């Protein structure tokens, strides 16, 4: 019985027919060995992690910008004859970006939680994969250490978001 290439792949490849069948190469490619391959392998995981976050941020940015552009002070800026770029960037976006920064700060824990699944599925080495392996091996000190690092990172990002509020809105003083 003659097996087609499709049957060989479905039945497990070369072991059944004794022929060499090309299988997809998996594994992590280091940046120092192949920079293009390294960036290529990170493209899909980054896209998966960023698409939901990016969609929410774009939607909020658009909504807030449309709301701010209807304010009286923006209409006054238009009436003074300022350029469209100045009105949108200086008057509109600067005031509309504060809720967006807040959302970005709150989405960081979701992104970090998503990396546990993404690194495991794509076989990428990283802290999340290290945490996943530690959970499977019930290595409690490692689990505590990784959680300490992740929580510290989240606290620092929240501190940065709060400090960024003072830069974006001069009315906010600490």
Domain assignment present for residue 163? The answer is yes
Give the total number of structural domains in the chain.
Answer: 1
**In this structure, is residue 39 part of a structural domain?**
no
Q: Residue 2: what pLDDT? A: 53
Query: Considering the domain boundaries, does residue 41 fall inside one?
Result: no
Count of CA atoms in the C-beta half-sphere (13 A) of 152:
6
The domain of 102 spans 47-168
For residue 95, being part of any structural domain is answered with yes
Q: What is the pLDDT of residues 39-88, one digit of tens each?
A: 888 899 999 999 988 999 999 999 999 999 999 988 898 888 888 898 88
Q: What is the pLDDT of residue 140?
A: 95
Q: Give the CA-trace dihedral at 129, 118, 31, 126, to 10 degrees.
A: -20
Q: Is residue 3 part of a domain?
A: no
pLDDT(23) > 60: no
pTM: 0.69
Q: Is residue 72 included in any domain, yes or no?
A: yes
pLDDT, one tens digit per residue, over 110-150 is: 898 888 889 888 888 889 889 989 999 999 999 999 999 99
Do the domain assignments include residue 13? no
CA distance 139 to 159: 30
């Amino acid at each position: 019985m003659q097996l087609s290439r499709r049957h060989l792949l479905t039945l497990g490849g070369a072991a059944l027919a004794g022929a060499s069948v090309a299988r997809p190469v998996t594994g992590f490619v280091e940046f120092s060995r192949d920079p293009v391959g390294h960036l290529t392998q990170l493209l899909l995981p980054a896209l998966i992690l960023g698409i939901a976050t990016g969609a929410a941020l774009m939607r909020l940015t658009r909504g807030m910008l449309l709301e701010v552009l209807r304010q009286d002070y923006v209409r006054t800026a238009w009436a003074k004859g300022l350029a469209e770029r100045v009105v949108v960037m200086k008057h509109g976006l600067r005031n509309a970006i504060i809720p967006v920064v807040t959302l970005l700060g709150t989405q960081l824990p979701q992104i970090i939680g998503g990396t546990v699944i993404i690194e495991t599925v794509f076989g990428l080495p990283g802290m999340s994969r290290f945490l996943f392996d530690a959970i499977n091996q019930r290595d409690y000190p490692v689990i505590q250490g990784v959680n300490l690092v992740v929580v510290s990172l989240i606290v620092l990002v929240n501190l940065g978001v709060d400090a960024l509020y003072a830069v974006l809105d001069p009315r906010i003083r600490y």
